[in-house]
């Protein structure tokens, strides 16, 4: 069965304290892995798409990496405004428009 598991469920960091969020997935063939940011009461906002193992993408303090079984979202020197829930999702080859989301990691950055 296709699965997406994110860890940790919640993470509290001090401003400037770098860390990583994990997304492990099980699909028969990966069409794409997505990272989204979600603020309370709002819709998810797209961050990155990764397509193949070894691929990396960066945006400001965020960097996403991909292996054959997992993806990491690295946060370097975070600021309080980076506080949000980060969602990982995968789309399988041949899976039409079906996307499977993980439960997310709630990130809180203390000033």
Out of 99, 107, 108, 109, name the contact with other proteins by CB under 8 A: 99
What's the rounded Cα separation, in Å, for the pair 4 and 39? 20
Out of 14, 60, 97, 111, name the contact with other proteins by CB under 8 A: 97
**By CB under 8 A, residue 21 contacts other proteins:** no
Minimal distance in Å, beta carbon 40 to other proteins?
A: 10
What's the rounded Cα separation, in Å, for the pair 107 and 100? 21
- What's the token pair of residue 12? 């509290």
What's the rounded Cα separation, in Å, for the pair 42 and 10? 18
**By CB under 8 A, residue 22 contacts other proteins:** no
**By CB under 8 A, residue 91 contacts other proteins:** yes
Minimal distance in Å, beta carbon 111 to other proteins?
A: 27
Start-to-end CA distance of the chain, whole Å, equals 41
């Amino acid at each position: 069965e296709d699965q997406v598991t994110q860890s940790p469920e919640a993470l509290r960091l001090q401003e400037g304290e770098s860390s990583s969020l994990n997304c492990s997935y099980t699909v028969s063939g990966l069409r794409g892995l997505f990272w989204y940011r979600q603020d309370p009461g709002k819709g998810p906002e797209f961050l990155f798409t990764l397509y193949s193992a070894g691929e990396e993408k960066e945006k400001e303090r965020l960097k996403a990496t991909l292996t054959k079984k997992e993806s990491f979202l690295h946060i370097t020197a975070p600021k309080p405004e980076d506080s949000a829930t980060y969602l990982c999702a995968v789309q399988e080859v041949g899976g039409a428009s079906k996307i499977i989301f993980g439960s997310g990691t709630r990130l809180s950055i203390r000033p």
